[in-house]
Amino acid sequence: MTDNIPLQPVRHKKRHDNKRRDGCCPWSRCCGGGDFRPRTVWLGHPEKREQRYPRNVINNQKYNFFTFLPGVLFNQFKYFFNLYFLLLACSQFVNELRLGALYTYWVPLGFVLIITIVREAVEEMRCFLRDKEVNSQIYSKLSTRGTVKVKSSGIQVGDLIIVEKMYISTFFSTVFHHKGSCFLRTDQLDGETDWKLRLPVACTQRLPTAAVSLVHDSFFVIKSHKREDGDPPVNESLSIENTLWASTVIASGTVVGVVIYTGKELRSVMNTSNPRHKIGLFDLEVNCLTKILFGALVVVSLVMVALQHFAGRWYLQIFRFLLLFSNIVPISLRVNLDMGKMVFSWMIKKDSKIPGTVVRASTFPEQLGRISYLLTDKTGTLTQNEMVFRRLHLGTVAYGMDSMDEVQSHVFSAYTQPPQDLQASRAPVATKVRKTISSRVHEAVKAIALVHNVTPVYESNGVTDQAEAEMHYEDTCRVYQASSPDEVSLVQWTESVGLTLVGRDQSSMQLRTPSGQILNFTILQIFPFTYESKRMGIIVRDESTGEITFYMKGADVVMAGIVQYNDWLEEECGNMAREGLRVLVVAKKSLTEEQYQDFEARYVQAKLSVHDRSLKVATVIESLEMEMELLCLTGVEDQLQADVRPTLEILRNAGIKVWMLTGDKLETATCTAKNAHLVTRNQDIHVFRPVTTRSEAHLELNAFRRKHDCALVISGDSLEVCLKYYEYEFMELACQCPAVVCCRCAPTQKAQIVRLLQERTGKLTCAVGDGGNDVSMIQEADCGVGVEGKAVFSSVFYFASVPLYQGFLIIGYSTIYTMFPVFSLVLDKDVKSEVAMLYPELYKDLLKGRPLSFKTFLIWVLISIYQGSIIMYGALLLFESEFVHIVAISFTSLILTELLMVALTVQTWHWLMIVAELLSLACYIASLVFLHEFIDVYFIATLSFVWKVTAITLVSCLPLYILKYLRRRFSPPSYSKLTS
């Protein structure tokens, strides 16, 4: 494979998920996996393949038909919290351990499992239907029998596929036949809304019988060359401009392409990790506390057996005591947690402030209240990917948005006034200076209008009608398309000042002057922008004068060594960059006919090289890039999404650190970070220098260590070197930064950064993205947010703790009598949502996890012991003469205490909470009819019973309420003043 076109997917040395991604099985070489080697692909003849390739099938499901039920059950019972209830239910099949009817244990557990299985089944079915829709998409395939229809899942390597407008490509192909150029939309792949220009292979345009000849003639692709075994044979090199990626859409035209990669070998698939089962931090904390309670349960059981001096079958007695006290951890807690999460998910979907939000995983919505690190994509997430031209700088003079009319007048005068060389020579000095500036402005605008990859597309009534609309170059029908929104903004700006791009194809370009004159230019060569070169160039011939000019634009770091010496370039580039503008340096060089012919011969020879082609081509181009004339600097601004700046400020005040992970270049990412106020004005930025060796990484890390309160900007290549040799040191320094920007990140690198943050800090992470290249990051994070369009997301969650109790009739107590009040606490709020958004510092309290800390847990255990003692010993003290009714006394006191404690816990009352309290009390009273064997209903109706039970309840609750009142008065929470 060559450097120009990465026909093979990226292979990574190490994967953290311990899964084979090179095929469907350990013997994946048989189906096209294993080591990727150069392949020969015969056009239209997949049967001639030399090896087997994977099917073109997309599968994003976590389970299949056979693994669904075992997988769901395993993910549920691999945690002690759920396994505890399963063991309790299974123990009831042993007659010597049975304490009651089987349904008292299996019905609640079955209810929980059914909810979980149904939820997982619905999510899997949705995923299956999405995959089926993609795999069933119909394409037209060229064969020896003509054009036939084929499903996406039936496409093979070597097939010639006709991809029509608005069709999503599900394979990686090379464009071989198309009348003129075409455009791709890649927003589903990388989130960028601009269109990418794609060109067909030149020799296929000369076929006598159009695309069908590709099947009947002897064409094949080997490495990155296309060859025709004809007489004489034709060899033509392929580049990135001849490729059609998977997960992209044909925006205009129709393309015939040969399939190169399919299925699991697609780059988008290999850069996406397998979806994993996620569990919330809250569930993990409850799981840990359950283990502690179980340990206490074992201790109590051993003590009870020890008091009996381990008499008889004491080991059996231990299990009986474990079962008897097992409801210290009520299964209703599991039901309430699942139901609460479903309510939280429903509230997110119905929130009017974030319309259109879809919750795809309802198992951990409370995670959004515990996020410490937010990792976000740039293009399409923080920015709209819409550029606006802001400044033109000529060295001695600069033009901003308020002075563009001056630029327009200079361009107008350059094309409307006849040359007056004689009068200009006799004019005063001031006039000469003015004319000089006018000519410099004209040259700069002309260069910007020519050095780009923009193509004007003419549309009429929503349908492209190139022939009719282009005939008159109608302004109302023209739309500019390019692979970069920067270039579109520059061409739109030249149109606004009078020089309009009205036509372009592969070999020519047309500009219209303010007077309506059409200037024709022949495109001799074009050098696209690459990450390595950081510049793009074009060689054009002016048809009216015959002049050949080499125009180039690029980043200041590379253009500084290409242009002629000047004393203002570096300073002005720095000034514009500090304003958050993306800066490009524009230069030109005039060539004679002999100079160009010499260059063209060397350039064509370099492009046909098999070995080191990129290096040879770059060397030839660099022979032109010397002593170029500096024309101007341009500054464009990337428009941010709505409310990005205040949102980032709120997140920062809430104690959340924001990291930006983007595949864009360093200069662009740095400008966006400044513009979005990801980096505050009083913070410095440390740009991590490119490193390739361990010693270089060591020196750069030491230099960064000496800086304080400094944001970090680092490229993906340097990041990989640092993580290879100094993973711990780098992550330690990066986590101390107020903000981190990682540019030129591969999708797998984004996921790796998320994983390292989780491992090194133990904090919760949230990933936000809008493209297919963000899927790995979103899946790896504790919370993943996929943004569609210009969506905005926010969430506020509150958690309330409740005590846990035991007693006779515990099943009814924990599932029916007290379920509704406890469940109604999901509606409780410490503060109003408006106040929480106004004071984001309150979020820091949630990050501490105090509602379920070990301290809080111990306090509630002590409260439970106190209240349980008051209820039991109070009943014995007040009802000593009526001991036979101890069950009615203690259980009624328990119910009333629970309802009262829930009421005292509420911060903000909701009418449903009152209904829940009354409904629970009504359920208990109604159930007395069925509990007559255990409870004397006539005894409960006596006045003595009522006031004694009331006394027990008040003694168990009132002191706690007094302590709570005193604590809030002398040590109020941070939000108490906001609620007054």
**Which residues are annotated as part of the binding site?**
377-379, 487, 529, 553, 582, 662-664, 744, 750, 770, 773-774
Whole-number Å distance between alpha carbons of 445 and 519: 14
| Residue 659 near residue 753, CB atoms below 8 Å | yes
- What is the side-by-side order of every strand in the sheet holding 684-687? 684-687, 710-715, 739-743, 657-661, 371-376, 764-769, 783-786
The CA dihedral of 67, 72, 78, 80, to the nearest 10 degrees, is -160
Nearest to 170 by CA among 320, 57, 327, 326: 57
Catalytic residue among 377, 638, 782, 936: 377
Angle at 483 between CA 482 and CA 486, to 5 degrees: 80
Q: How far apart are CA 524 and CA 361, in angstroms?
A: 54
In DSSP terms, 679 is beta-bridged to none
Residues 6+ apart with CB under 8 A from 229: 218, 219, 220
Give 83-114 as a 3 state SS string: HHHHHHHHHCCCHHHCCCCCHHHHHHHHHHHH
In the sheet that 255-261 helps form, which strands lie side by side, from edge to edge? 146-151, 138-143, 160-163, 255-261, 172-177, 243-244
Among 168, 171, 180, smallest CA distance to 253 is for 180
- Rounded Cα gap, residues 492 and 475, in angstroms: 12
Those residues whose C-beta lies under 8 Å from the C-beta of residue 320, and which sit 6 or more positions away, are: 97, 99
Q: List, as residue ranges, the binding site for Mg(2+).
A: 377, 379, 770, 774
C-alpha to C-alpha distance for 692 and 718, rounded to whole angstroms? 7
Contacts of 465 (CB under 8 A, 6+ apart): 458, 459, 477
List the binding residues for ATP. 377-379, 487, 529, 553, 582, 662-664, 744, 750, 773-774
Tokens of 791: 């969506």
Gap between the Cα atoms of 732 and 709, Å rounded:
14
Q: Which residues pair with 741 in a beta bridge?
A: 660, 713
Instruction: Look at residues 293, 299, 281 and name the one whose alpha carbon lies nearest to residue 860.
Output: 293
Give the span between the Cα atoms of 640 and 623, in whole angstroms. 39
DSSP state of 813: I
Give me the phi and psi of 509, to 5 degrees please.
-150, 145
Residue with tokens 């030129």: 744
Using an 8 Å Cβ cutoff, are 909 and 800 in contact?
no
Hey, which residues does 150 pair with through a beta bridge? Answer: 139
Q: Is residue 598 flagged as an active site residue?
A: no
Distance CA 791, CA 192 (A): 15
Q: What is the β-pairing status of strands 739-743 and 508-512?
A: unpaired
Q: Is-contact 540 450, C-beta < 8 A?
A: yes
- Rounded to an integer, what distance in angstroms lies between the CA atom of residue 527 and that of residue 535? 8
Whole-angstrom distance between the N-terminal and C-terminal Cα of the chain?
70
Which two structure tokens, joined as six digits, stand for 636? 């464009």
SS3 letters for 724-773?
Answer: HHCHHHHHHHHHCCCEEEEECCCHHHHHHHHHHHHHHHCCEEEEEECCHH
Which helix (H) or strand (E) segment holds residue 699: the answer is: helix 694-705
Residue 259 burial by CB count (10 A; 0-12/13-18/19+): exposed, middle or buried? buried
Residues marked active site are found at: 377
